[in-house]
Amino acid sequence: MGENNVIFLEVIEWFDETGKQMVQRIPREGSGEIKFGAQLTVRDSQAAVFFYQGKAYDAIGPGRHTLKTHNIPVLTKILSAPWGMQSPLRAEVYMVNMKTFTDLKWGTRDPVAFKDSQLGLVRLRAFGIFNVQVVQPVLFINRLVGTQGMYTTEEIEDYLNRVIVSRFNDHLGENLDSLFNLPGRYEELADSLQQKLVDDLSHFGLALTHLYIRAITPPPDVQQAIDDKSRLGLFDDMNKLMAMKAAMAMEKASESSGEASSGLGMGMGVMMPGMFANLLQQGGQQPQQGGPAPAAESQACPDCGQQIPKDARFCPQCGHQQLVFTQCMKCHKNLPPTAKFCSRCGTPVNGKDQAVFCQACGAENLANSKFCNSCGEKLGLAD
């Protein structure tokens, strides 16, 4: 890893010894005086984003690359005397880990509010794991690392956790009416929540590969109410069990000798078809085998929506460059690196996502949230 010096050229490389770090800025303390001719080595599992004079120029792939700046050894240091011997031609390199990060934790630090149709306001805790991968390194740096000011993996994971919890609360409010209908729906909720989050994380240059819900835990008194209702539901199954045992007892009695057993066997022969017919009618159908064919290695162009090869640099349909520098925070249109305002809606590029405040309790929620995490009320300002 190269460091600032006066005479020698930098040799810049990065090794992630922990296996858990998403991004590393070089120099660590901020921008530096990276000189003309500095050597940058990028490995297969990495991408580098080179910033010069405050602008990102490209995502650099694997290999050895020569960096070109206007910083000349010794000469630049002499000419920078009016600026306190610091060159105003600042540069930095962000090294991005492109591997899939697995087993990242998400969960509710504080219980989120859920308005149950039968139980009223219930505060829930939930947790699970998710896997993410950086797919647009320039957009990742510009939107998440640069705009949010996050440089450590812990900060990035914490922010993604907030996004997932907020969308989880919205998802429950839209797709679940009561906790009594929750058992058996974990996989369904996880799959639909993942689809909901794919669009959110794509605006940060990230791909959500998997998401799992391990538990959704209501307060103890609500758990007791759910258990009590589950016990009431056992009576139907008990009636079925008693009917089946009675039928088995009549069958066994019919095998014994005597006139009584003959009459009992005759009655059993009349009753058995109807009893087993009812049991069979209440059974479910067998699940169908197989599934859809795996999707082809393609992706949708973010500008025209047409399917294009995953490794394409430009869209063959509309010519749109697939390397995303930045996006509008309001309408999510892809913008060139020199844009000051969005060409579609006019929103300033250098702004931040505006938080949404609940009109009922005043709590702060993430942008585009639909339900308040604190009181469960629907947010009137959400789209």
Q: What is the pLDDT of residues 211-248, one digit of tens each?
A: 998 888 888 877 777 666 665 555 555 566 566 666 66
DSSP type of residue 8:
S
Cα–Cα distance measured from residue 307 to residue 323, given in angstroms and rounded to the nearest whole number: 16
In which band, very low, low, confident or very high, does the pLDDT at 49 lie, cut at 50, 70 and 90?
A: very high
What CATH number does domain 100-222 carry, 3.30.1490.20, 3.40.50.2000, 3.30.479.30, 3.40.50.620? 3.30.479.30
Top pLDDT among 347 and 47 is at 47
* Structure token digits, residue 266: 């005759």
Q: Quick one: pLDDT at residue 251?
A: 61
Cα–Cα distance measured from residue 213 to residue 167, given in angstroms and rounded to the nearest whole number: 13
Top pLDDT among 54 and 381 is at 54
pTM, two decimal places = 0.61
Domain-wise residue ranges, the chain: 11-97, 100-222, 310-347, 352-378
In which band, very low, low, confident or very high, does the pLDDT at 149 lie, cut at 50, 70 and 90?
A: low
pLDDT in tens, 94-136: 999 999 998 888 998 888 888 888 878 888 888 999 999 999 9
Q: At what angle do helices 153-175 and 186-202 cross, to 10 degrees?
A: 130
Q: What share of the chain has pLDDT > 70, as a percent?
A: 72
pLDDT in tens, 158-196: 888 888 888 888 888 888 888 877 777 888 888 888 888
Report the b/e string of 140-149 with b at 16+ CB within 10 A.
bbbbbbbbee
pLDDT in tens, 280-302: 555 544 444 444 544 557 777 76
Cα dist from 83 to 76, 79, 228, whole Å: 11, 9, 75
